[in-house]
A and B are shown apart, each in its own frame.
Chain A
Amino acid sequence: MADEVKKEVPARFKVTIDNITIEVAPGTTILNAARQIGGDVTPPAMCYYSKLQGSGGKCRTCLVEVEAGSAADPRPMPKLVASCRTAVMDGMVLKNITSERVLDARAGVVEFLLLNHPLDCPICDQAGECHLQDLGYEHGKEGTRYEFKRRTFEKEDIGPYIQLHMTRCILCYRCTYVADQLTDNRVHGVLERRDHAEISTYISKAIDSDFSGNMIDVCPVGALTDKTFRFKNRVWFTKPVDAHRDCENPKCCGKVTLWQRGDDVLRVTARKDQWGEVQSFDGKPGWICNTCRFDKKHSNDWVVEGPTKVSRHSVISQGHYIDMQMPKEIMPEVMGGRAPKLLMDIQDISEVNSVDIGLLPGPATSKTFEKKEQ
Chain B
Amino acid sequence: MQLTNKAKQVDRRPMTFLESIYLWNIIKGMGITISHLFKRKATIKYPEQKRPFSQVFRGLHVLNRDAEGRENCTACGLCAVACPAEAITMEAAERLPGEEDLYREEKYAAKYEINMLRCIFCGLCEEACPKDAIYLSETFAPANYGRKGFIYKKEDLLIPHPINEKEAYEKALGNKAKR
Contact = CB atoms under 8 A, between A and B. Distances in A.
Interface of A: 120-123, 127, 230-234, 236-237, 315, 318-319, 343-344, 346, 349-355, 357, 362-369
A350 B78 contact: no
Interface stretch (B8-16, B17-25, B110-118, B169-177): B110-118
B162 to A, nearest CB: 21
B148 interface: yes
> In terms of DSSP, what is the predominant structure of the interface of chain A?
loop
Contacts of A315: 81
B146 to A, nearest CB: 8
Contacts of B131: 122
A186 to B, nearest CB: 30
A365 B147 contact: no
Contacts of B96: 365-367
Contact of B91 (A121, A123, A127, A364): A364
B59 interface: no
B113 A352 contact: yes
Contacts of A121: 76, 130
Given A343-B147, A367-B96, A369-B110, A352 B86 contact: no
Interface stretch (B34-42, B61-69, B99-107): B99-107
A365 B99 CA distance: 10
A24 B109 CA distance: 51
A300 to B, nearest CB: 24
A232 B131 CA distance: 20
Nearest to A155: B106
Given A123-B105, A351-B153, A363-B93, A319 B86 contact: yes
Nearest to B153: A351
Contacts of A318: 81
7 contacts: A233-B77, A234-B81, A344-B146, A344-B148, A349-B148, A365-B96, A366-B99
Contacts of A351: 111, 113, 153
Determine which residue in B94, B131, B147, B148 has the highest number of CB atoms from chain A within 10 A of its CB, and name it. B94
Contact of B93 (A120, A343, A349, A369): A369
A122 B76 contact: yes
A122 B93 contact: no
Interface residues of B, number: 31
Contact of A364 (B74, B105, B110, B148): B110
B90 interface: yes
A136 to B, nearest CB: 14
B107 A123 contact: yes
Nearest to A362: B94
Nearest to B106: A123
Contacts of A343: 147
Interface in B128-155: 130-131, 146-148, 151, 153
A364 B92 contact: yes
A350 B76 contact: no
A266 to B, nearest CB: 12
Nearest to A318: B81
Contacts of A231: 75, 92-94, 107
Contacts of A236: 77, 81
Given A357-B91, A364-B91, A364-B93, A319 B81 contact: yes
B76 A123 contact: yes
Given A236-B81, A352-B89, A363-B93, A346 B151 contact: yes
